[in-house]
Amino acid sequence: MTNKKISMWFPTLIYENILDTFRSHNHHLLSKAYSIRTVEPTVKTEWNCDTYNTLTQYDAIKDDDKIVQLLITECKNLVIDFAKEFGINKTIADLECNDFWFNIAEPGSYQEYHQHPRSDFSLVYYVKTNKDSGNIVFQPSSSISDSFPLITDELTYASFRTCSYNTKESLVLIFRSSLAHMVEKNLSNEDRISIAMNFKFKEPQQ
């Protein structure tokens, strides 16, 4: 029984932080989300959920809104910090925000499991949440072993099949874009507002 060794490989990392400095800007971001929906009320995605989003209706990169640009810059710095955990030592100049959209989840709305293709890291920032407005749930990509779940006496970090986060205002989460995730049904009586972003490191110039 000597020389026992247990190694941990292929961990799933999720960055979690509260952007206290942005609490005062949440009202502005909330108003912007609703103003975009007023102009473009139709959701134009292939998702099966009924959560409104501005993915195809709004180009934040070209928007001169100072608060939006400040949030993108702040989030870029967080992604750079998180990327170091993966051995990526680059600067903010090497990182592009290739997607930015608002999500408005009315009571009863949800988001099915999905991934964010063509990106390296994804991020969600919560502008407005309520009690019972729905957690975000993460699940590792499907594999052959997922078809044969272990029957355990207690859950440990080695046997969890999903993990979830309680949403709260100004919470930011960052994760690999390939990590499957969903959002539970909003069981509150108010909208849940969040911002999602995708980031990709620039290809090295030849």
- Give the span between the Cα atoms of 142 and 191, in whole angstroms: 31
Give the pLDDT score at 170: 97
Q: What is the pLDDT of residues 101-122, one digit of tens each?
A: 999 999 999 999 999 999 999 9
CA 160, 194, 180, 200 dihedral sign is negative
Q: What is the pLDDT of residues 5-38, one digit of tens each?
A: 989 888 899 999 999 999 999 999 999 999 999 9
Q: What is the pLDDT of residues 41-57, one digit of tens each?
A: 877 666 778 899 998 88
pTM: 0.92
Give the pLDDT score at 182: 94
Give the pLDDT score at 146: 60
Query: What is the DSSP secondary-structure string of 84-133?
Result: GGGT----GGGEEEEEEEEEEE-TT--EEEE--TT-SEEEEEEEE--TTS
Query: H or E segment at 158?
Result: none
CA 184, 109, 76, 116 dihedral sign is positive
Q: What is the pLDDT of residues 65-103, one digit of tens each?
A: 999 999 999 999 999 999 999 999 999 999 999 999 999
Give the pLDDT score at 16: 98
Give the pLDDT score at 203: 82
Give the pLDDT score at 143: 52
Using 50, 70 and 90 to split pLDDT, how confident is the model at 154?
A: confident
Q: Which residues pair with 201 in a beta bridge?
A: 95
Span of 58-67, 71-80, 118-127, 140-149 with lowest mean pLDDT: 140-149
Amino acid at 69: Q
